[in-house]
Amino acid sequence: MRATFEQNAEFIALAAREARDEAQRLLARLEVLIAGLAAKDSAAGLELRRAAVEFLVAAGDQQPALRGEGRLSVVPARPGDRAAERLGELESTILEIVEGEEGGMHVDAVFELLGEMGVEMTKGNLSVKLHRMIKAGRLVSTARGYYGLSSMERARRMAS
């Protein structure tokens, strides 16, 4: 017997729900592991959390989000949502913040200024964003925890 189009669509929807449920179960386990590691070594716990967020972002159609007190969750990306636009705005804001600081600006200061501007994000997510901006050539790390404009970005801003 051949399945109808509706039966195939129902099966695909069921498989997608099962995949999301399994991802949530795995993230719950990961949250427990991160909490346990953070209790023993907070730096290692933070690093594992950052790695998990980077992995979720790299997964493609999933965006990481933080639930409650720094807990990870998976939020399906919606085509046509403003995520890319918001990321571009966030990058521009970060670049404007660090532009005037020749020796770079500490991540904590950037985090505080973003908070004052009404941008809601965790320090972990900000660190991930800053590292991605380094990889893209827009920022450089001037010292541990300090970020400044790259020479390429500085030249681009002077030209415009």
DSSP 8-class letter at 82: S
DSSP single-letter state for residue 138: S
Residues 6+ apart with CB under 8 A from 142: 103, 104, 148
**CA distances to 14, 111, 118, 123 from 93, in Å:** 41, 11, 12, 16
What's 117's domain CATH number? Answer: 1.10.10.10
- 87 and 152 in one domain? yes
Q: Note whether 9 and 65 are same-domain residues.
A: yes
Mean per-residue pLDDT of the chain: 77
110: Cβ contacts below 8 Å, ≥ 6 apart? 94, 97, 98, 126, 130, 147
Residues 94 and 71 in one domain: no
pLDDT of residue 108: 93
pLDDT > 70 fraction of the chain, expressed in percent and rounded: 78
Q: What is the pTM of this model?
A: 0.47
Q: Which structural domain, as residue segments, surrounds residue 46?
A: 5-76
Q: What is the pLDDT of residue 77?
A: 44
For residue range 55-102, list pLDDT tens digits in order.
Answer: 776 665 444 444 444 555 444 444 444 555 566 788 888 998 898 887
Residues 68 and 88 in one domain: no
Helix (H) or strand (E) holding 75: strand 71-76
Same-domain pairing of 43 and 62: yes
From the CA atom positions of the chain, what is the Rg in Å? 20
Residues in the chain where the model's pLDDT stays below 50:
61-69, 73-81
